[in-house]
């Protein structure tokens, strides 16, 4: 909202609104491109710009602590999500353009046969039932979209055989999902703003939030008490859904920082880890919830502006580490998965960020 208001002020050359809006964004952690900053400088007095520059420098400061965990070869085209099977020490990865589920054991990568999905996005582990759930759908980059499955698929982690294949009604296209402790699956459709629920034993998914209530829902985290679902809405910020009534409200924050542009969410302790790739700079945050779970009590920047990132997307907690896709390369693929002029695809880096010793 602040960015849209600032753009509108720049368009009509309202210097006072530009000055106020730019200062608010900088206070939230915003670090514009040099081109955008040059535009702002035309409306902000030199003395104010000098003062703002100190905060801008702090916003651009690189925060890093992760190391390379695994590398997925170029053949795994457009890796979006990952999941960790601790029982067998295997990492699973979803491919959007390759339309396949890959798994690696540290030595090699191979595709799970027989899934016949669409583009694969978010993955969710149901460890007690030894299931791996995946969101299958269609985006612009999906090759042969006409035969792409739209829905939720689960495989047995020990046999790799399909256990569930639940189609989403109509033209729904789930892209991210989360599995609650009791086995309920929640899925988000960012194209339509729908949130779906699939209970244990259900053969059909039901609507929790109908289309149009959310703008672009992405990551999801169910609360431990099964009463709320936290959702990152890419343009709106963070939302909280009452699972009994379906009511949607904004998750307020006591911390002054940007909370839009969040792609992936992963539960950790009394909050969640957020991958924020829709802001400048890209960041990985730990969001601590208040005791009643209704507010963000504090925000800790775990990584920011890492020089080895492309576009980080989704991740998963593995013990006291956060594993995440560090370079999905969405910008390198166009319609039907064709490689664009952004350069040839690269191997995909999966990085590991230690969470212990950070005061979380």
What DSSP designation does 2 have? H
Residue 78: closest CA among 335, 330, 291: 330
Q: What is the pLDDT of residue 356?
A: 85
For residues 22 and 14, give the distance between their C-alpha atoms in angstroms, rounded to a whole number: 12
Taking every pair of Cα atoms in the chain, the longest distance, rounded to a whole number of angstroms, is 66
Q: What is the pLDDT of residue 218?
A: 96
Q: What are phi and psi of 236, to 5 degrees?
A: -90, -35
Q: What is the pLDDT of residue 51?
A: 87
Residues with Cβ < 8 Å from 140, sequence gap 6 or more?
A: 334, 335
Tell me which H or E stretch contains 35.
helix 34-41
Q: Is the dihedral of CA 210, 211, 214, 220 positive or negative?
A: positive
Q: What is the pLDDT of residue 343?
A: 78
Beta bridge partners of 142: none
Both structure tokens of 91? 């990492």
Helix (H, G, I), strand (E, B) or coil at 265: strand
What is the CATH architecture of 66-354? Answer: 6 Propeller (2.120)
Q: What is the pTM of this model?
A: 0.93
Q: What is the pLDDT of residue 104?
A: 94
> Per-residue pLDDT for the chain (360 aa), expressed as one digit of tens each?
778 888 898 889 888 998 898 888 888 888 888 888 888 888 888 888 888 999 999 989 999 999 999 999 998 999 999 999 999 999 999 999 999 999 998 678 999 999 999 999 999 999 999 999 999 999 999 999 999 999 999 999 999 999 999 999 888 899 999 999 999 999 999 999 999 999 999 999 999 999 989 999 999 999 999 999 999 999 889 999 999 999 999 999 998 898 999 999 999 999 999 999 998 899 999 999 999 999 999 999 999 999 999 999 999 999 999 999 999 999 999 999 999 877 789 999 999 999 987 767
Residue 149: closest CA among 132, 126, 172: 172
For residues 102 and 98, give the distance between their C-alpha atoms in angstroms, rounded to a whole number: 10
Peptide bond into 102 cis (omega under 30): no
Token match 């086995």: residue?
Answer: 183
Both structure tokens of 159? 């046999």
Q: Where are the domains of the chain?
A: 2-60, 66-354
């Amino acid at each position: 909202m602040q960015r849209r208001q600032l753009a509108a002020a720049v368009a009509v050359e309202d210097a006072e609104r530009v000055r106020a809006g730019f200062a608010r964004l900088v206070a939230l952690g915003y670090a514009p491109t040099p081109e955008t900053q040059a535009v702002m400088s035309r409306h902000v007095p030199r003395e104010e710009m000098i003062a703002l520059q100190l905060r801008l420098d702090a916003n651009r400061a690189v925060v890093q602590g992760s190391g390379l965990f695994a590398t997925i070869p170029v053949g795994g085209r457009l890796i979006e999500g990952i999941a960790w099977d601790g029982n067998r020490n295997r990492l699973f990865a979803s491919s959007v353009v390759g339309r396949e589920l890959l798994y690696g054991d540290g030595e090699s990568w191979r595709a799970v046969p027989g899934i016949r999905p669409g583009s694969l996005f978010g993955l969710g582990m149901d460890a007690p039932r030894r299931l791996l759930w995946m969101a299958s759908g269609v985006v612009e980059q999906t090759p042969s979209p006409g035969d792409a499955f739209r829905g939720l698929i689960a495989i047995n982690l020990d046999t790799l055989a399909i256990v569930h294949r639940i189609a989403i009604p109509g033209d729904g296209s789930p892209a991210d999902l989360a599995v609650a402790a009791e086995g309920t699956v929640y899925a988000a459709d960012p194209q339509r703003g729908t949130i779906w629920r699939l209970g244990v034993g259900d053969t059909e998914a039901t609507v929790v939030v109908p289309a149009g209530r959310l703008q672009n829902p992405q990551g999801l985290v169910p609360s431990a008490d099964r009463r709320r679902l936290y959702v990152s809405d890419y343009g709106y910020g963070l939302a909280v859904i009452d699972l009994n009534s379906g009511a949607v409200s904004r998750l307020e924050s006591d911390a002054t920082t940007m909370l839009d542009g969040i792609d992936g969410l992963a539960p950790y302790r009394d909050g969640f880890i957020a991958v924020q790739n829709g802001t400048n700079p890209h960041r990985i945050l730990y969001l601590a919830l208040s005791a009643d779970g209704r507010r963000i009590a504090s925000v800790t920047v775990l990584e920011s502006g890492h020089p080895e990132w492309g576009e980080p997307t989704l991740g998963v907690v593995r013990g006291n580490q956060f594993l995440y896709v560090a370079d999905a390369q969405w910008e390198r693929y166009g319609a039907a998965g064709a490689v664009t002029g952004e350069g040839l695809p690269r191997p995909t880096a999966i990085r590991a960020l230690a969470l212990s010793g950070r005061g979380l």
